[in-house]
Amino acid sequence: MEQVNEDTLASTRKVIAVHINYPSRAAQRGRTPAQPSYFLKPSSSLALTGSTVERPAGCELLGYEGEIALVIGKAARRVSIEDAWSHVAGITASNDLGVYDLRWADKGSNLRSKGGDGFTPVGPALIPADAVDPAQLRIRTWHNGHLVQDDTTEDLLFPFARLVADLSQLLTLEEGDIILTGTPAGASVAKPGDVLEVEVSASNLTTSNLTTGRLATTVVEGTTPFADFGAGPKVDDLQREEAYGSREAAGLPAADSVLTPELKAKLESVATATLSSQMRKRGLNNVSIDGLQATRPDRRVVGLARTLRYVPNREDLFKTHGGGFNAQKKAIDSVNEGEILVMEARGEKGTGTVGDILALRAQVRGAAAIITDGGVRDFTAVAGLDMPTWFANPHPAVLGRRHIPWDTDITIACGGATVQPGDIIVADGDGILVIPPAIAEELVDDCIQQEKEEAFIFEMVKQGNSVDGLYPMNAEWQNKYAEWERMEAGKADD
């Protein structure tokens, strides 16, 4: 078989990559696209087997994705699905490498995060396209010798011929162009010193001897820092989860273990005002969702945030995103026990963002609350539910008047506060707070201590003492408080 060499790379004018194509990857990402979507990688990102790839200095998350690469053999423009495969010269192995640390500044282009030099190794051999069935190929990836990806093309969301035909409707696929066809589940993160290998082979018995061989790439550490005139690396736990494939693989606590029963009980025991005070001491001043009212102001809820974003209505986009099992219904139908669904409606009060049926569905699924900075339809019915809803105002209009349900489980803005999936929400009649999970344990312990001190101060004022030197306590009152605390502890032990 022909080997992929420098001449092969030199003939490539463009590299086109597909976002999600394997059902296993779609299940991992929690979304299944109805149509294929693409991004470009520069031809300068191409590399051969045995090359090294640099994890840029200051970066943490160099992600790898084993993929099958199609090499175009003859120009394709507006070809049919039936004719598309004849325009493919061969297939080879590829590794779609990318740095998650730079995704935040890419705005969906993936140029900086996935376009670096050496970020698209291909090879080593090219299997002739006419020698294989594109629906009977196997893709495998090894990380330091351990098999981490193993899947076939039997049940792709978008078969290879469809990708070629689809792309050719708008642009000419030229000889030498490369299409990366998506990665299965199992993609993860590599570190300097790691060796990555990808192999593509035929999965049917008659052509099982056809293989690309293993495409090998070694990761090295970059030494040149980013200049200060461009976007630098930045990561958070959401990017770590995306890069590794799961919270567990990233070494993060499982989502349902962040808010343990013990932590939840502590948060339920302290006043919202105390939590706000302690967050201000930590420099967190913009963590309250403001301007909303509650259907159940007597209720206090503590839960993890799930998020839903609405964008302003545009009639053509509402036709594609507003109907059917849209983002709003997906969010309602996937909220879990104890979670709080937080909606970004831009403070738009001229229509409803949730009504009685969907609110009831959220309650049946065990949601702790719904929070929206928009309107509520069917107000009397929603207010009659046991599950509380925080909202801007009642409004009879349907969703499509002002909103399109657009996306779920992303960072949103609600009532002037930024909310991320997995943030801890505390809501009651005094207000709604957004607590970063990483500080919750320490925060609530300090709140408990603060409320003990305030209970002592309250008792001292009740006994007729001046607040001068008592609130806040000076050294003399601190000593008296320590003695009072010992006495109270002794009473509890009796």
Q: Which residues contact 16 (CB under 8 A, 6 or more apart)?
A: 38, 39, 40, 41, 167, 177, 178, 179, 180
Contact 209, 124 (CB under 8 A): no
**377 assigned binding-site residue:** yes
Of 149, 154, 162, the C-alpha closest to 133 is: 154
Rg of the chain over CA atoms, in angstroms? 28
Of 304, 295, 404, 387, the C-alpha closest to 345 is: 404
Of 434, 429, 439, the C-alpha closest to 344 is: 434
Contact 133, 8 (CB under 8 A): no
Contact 376, 354 (CB under 8 A): yes
- Burial environment of residue 136 by CB neighbours within 10 A (0 to 12, 13 to 18, 19 or more): middle
Spatial separation of the C-alpha atoms in residues 267 and 263, rounded to whole Å:
6
Contact 37, 110 (CB under 8 A): no
Quote the tokens at residue 77.
Answer: 């423009």
Residue 124 preceded by cis peptide, ω within 30: yes
Pairing, β 66-72 against β 178-180? antiparallel
Spatial separation of the C-alpha atoms in residues 179 and 189, rounded to whole Å:
22
**356 assigned binding-site residue:** yes
Of 414, 431, 388, the C-alpha closest to 277 is: 431
Quote the tokens at residue 109.
Answer: 């282009």
Residue listed under structure tokens 């001292």: 460
Q: What is the DSSP string of 299-348?
A: --EEEEEEEEEEEE--HHHHHHHTSSS-HHHHHHHH--TT-EEEEE-TT-
Q: Across the strands, what pairs with 352?
A: 375
**16 assigned binding-site residue:** no
Of 210, 67, 55, 186, the C-alpha closest to 130 is: 210
Neighbours of 249 (CB within 10 A): 14
**355 assigned binding-site residue:** yes
Residue 472 preceded by cis peptide, ω within 30: yes
Of 236, 107, 129, 245, the C-alpha closest to 179 is: 129
Binding-site sequence positions for Mg(2+)? 378
**Residues annotated in the binding site, as ranges?**
355-358, 377-378
Q: From the annotation, which residues make up the binding site for substrate?
A: 355-358, 377
